[in-house]
């Protein structure tokens, strides 16, 4: 079913003249959609026109698939993602990721908004995910067939791409500390006790996306690098009492930094991988 939807989505893109290979899929999280506005020669397709794509639901998400050139590299950008909490389907991003792979993408660059469990990792900062914790009991590959469902996750967040992102961070002056992300289903925010538990389990950040996408991406051989916009202290951390409104405002304020960092990263990628 996923494969059929990917073929139909590919045909829908081809009908709009989008056929050239892409280097990467970039997924923009809550409040971070602006990056796509800077693409050259862009074609934007509403998710509604792409079979298997999520219905645009969460406010702060534009719901468009935009293909164009950034820093000389052809990329596809998702303005908004599907979250598990919208449908109860942890594999809701399988078609967009599969489509990107079919278009030739080698990597998925995931961004999100998150809450910080660490008083030293303050709202407004950007973190580079080094790993995740998925103790939700949910996995996008439950029910999948074949031995390739047993996806190795020891290298979930690619070491080489992380190292490149760290250099991009230095080059553009946007700091991005490494952090471990813990996936909660949402849509309710965490309790204070859950955030204390997350910290004990090794997490620096909590959020409602990314981990299932990383699992799906790794299954199809896309390398993953992920950035998190810290929008708030998680419940109980330094008085944190998160709201969706606050999340959207702080993410929008940080969108310019995120954009600079993504551009610096793509610039390095083009120079080091030497293909358009
Ligand atoms: N918890 C979960 N998801 C989030 C948060 C949070 O505190 N902030 C932004 N996304």
Between CA 196 and CA 204 the distance in angstroms is 11
The pLDDT score that the predictor gives to residue 66 is 96
pTM metric for this prediction: 0.96
Between CA 82 and CA 142 the distance in angstroms is 18
Ligand 1 centroid vs 224 CA: distance in angstroms?
21
Torsion over CA: 148, 151, 156, 158 (sign)? negative
Between CA 69 and CA 80 the distance in angstroms is 19
Tell me which range, 48-57, 83-92, 204-213, 266-275, is most confidently predicted by mean pLDDT: 204-213
Q: Quick check: 166 pLDDT over 60? A: yes
pLDDT digits (tens, 9 = 90+) for 62-84: 789 999 999 999 999 999 899 99
Give the distance from CA 120 to its chain's centroid.
23
Specify the CATH number for the domain of residue 101.
3.40.50.1580
CA 169 to each of CA 126, 155, 163, 266: distance values in angstroms, whole numbers, following the listed order? 10, 21, 10, 11
Ligand 1 centroid vs 233 CA: distance in angstroms?
8
Q: Whose Cα sits closest to atom 2 in ligand 1?
A: 207
The response to whether residue 257 sits with its C-beta less than 6 Å from ligand 1 reads no
71 class by beta-carbon count within 10 Å (0-12 exposed, 13-18 middle, 19+ buried): middle
Between CA 93 and CA 154 the distance in angstroms is 21
Residues of the chain with pLDDT > 70, as a percent, come to 96
Residues of the chain with pLDDT > 90, as a percent, come to 85
The pLDDT score that the predictor gives to residue 154 is 97
- The total number of structural domains in the chain stands at 1
| Cα-based angle 34, 37, 40 (whole degrees, multiple of 5) | 145
The response to whether residue 269 sits with its C-beta less than 6 Å from ligand 1 reads no
The pLDDT score that the predictor gives to residue 250 is 87
pLDDT digits (tens, 9 = 90+) for 5-53: 999 999 999 999 999 999 999 999 888 888 999 999 999 999 999 999 9
Q: Quick check: 276 pLDDT over 60? A: no
DSSP alpha helix (H) spans, 16-107: 84-87, 94-102
pLDDT digits (tens, 9 = 90+) for 79-129: 989 999 999 999 999 999 999 999 999 999 999 999 999 999 999 999 999
Ligand 1 centroid vs 271 CA: distance in angstroms?
35
CA-based nearest residue to 275, from 20, 18, 14? 20
The response to whether residue 36 sits with its C-beta less than 6 Å from ligand 1 reads no
Beta strands at 176-183 and 126-133: parallel, antiparallel or unpaired? parallel
The pLDDT score that the predictor gives to residue 117 is 98
Ligand 1 centroid vs 155 CA: distance in angstroms?
24
The response to whether residue 237 sits with its C-beta less than 6 Å from ligand 1 reads no
Burial 239-251 (b: 16+ CB within 10 A, else e): ebebebeebbebb
Average pLDDT over residues 215-240: 96
Ligand 1 centroid vs 130 CA: distance in angstroms?
18
Range of the domain at 37: 2-272
Beta strands at 24-28 and 223-233: parallel, antiparallel or unpaired? unpaired
């Amino acid at each position: 079913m996923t494969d059929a939807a990917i073929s139909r989505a590919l045909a829908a893109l081809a009908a709009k003249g989008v056929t050239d290979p892409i280097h990467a899929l970039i997924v923009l999280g809550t409040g971070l959609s602006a990056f796509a506005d800077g693409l050259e020669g862009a074609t934007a397709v509403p998710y509604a026109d792409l079979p298997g794509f999520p219905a645009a639901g969460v406010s702060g998400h534009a719901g468009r698939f935009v293909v164009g050139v950034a820093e000389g590299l052809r990329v596809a950008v998702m303005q908004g993602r599907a979250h598990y909490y919208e449908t109860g389907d942890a594999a809701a991003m399988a078609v967009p990721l599969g489509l990107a792979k079919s278009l030739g993408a080698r990597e998925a660059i995931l961004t999100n908004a998150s809450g910080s469990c660490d008083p030293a990792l303050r709202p407004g900062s950007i973190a580079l995910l080094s790993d995740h914790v998925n103790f939700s009991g949910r996995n996008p590959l439950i029910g999948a067939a074949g031995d390739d469902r047993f996806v190795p996750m020891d290298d979930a967040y690619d070491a080489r791409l992380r190292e490149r992102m760290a250099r991009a961070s230095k080059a553009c002056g946007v700091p991005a500390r490494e952090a471990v992300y813990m996936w909660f289903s949402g849509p309710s925010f965490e309790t204070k006790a859950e955030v204390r538990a997350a910290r004990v389990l090794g997490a620096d950040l909590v959020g409602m996306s990314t981990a299932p996408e990383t699992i799906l991406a790794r299954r199809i051989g896309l390398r993953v690098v992920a950035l998190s916009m810290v929008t708030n202290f998680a419940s109980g951390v330094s008085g944190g009492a998160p709201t969706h409104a606050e999340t959207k405002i702080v993410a929008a304020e940080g969108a310019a930094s995120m954009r600079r960092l993504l551009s610096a990263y793509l610039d390095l990628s083009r120079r080091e991988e030497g293909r358009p």
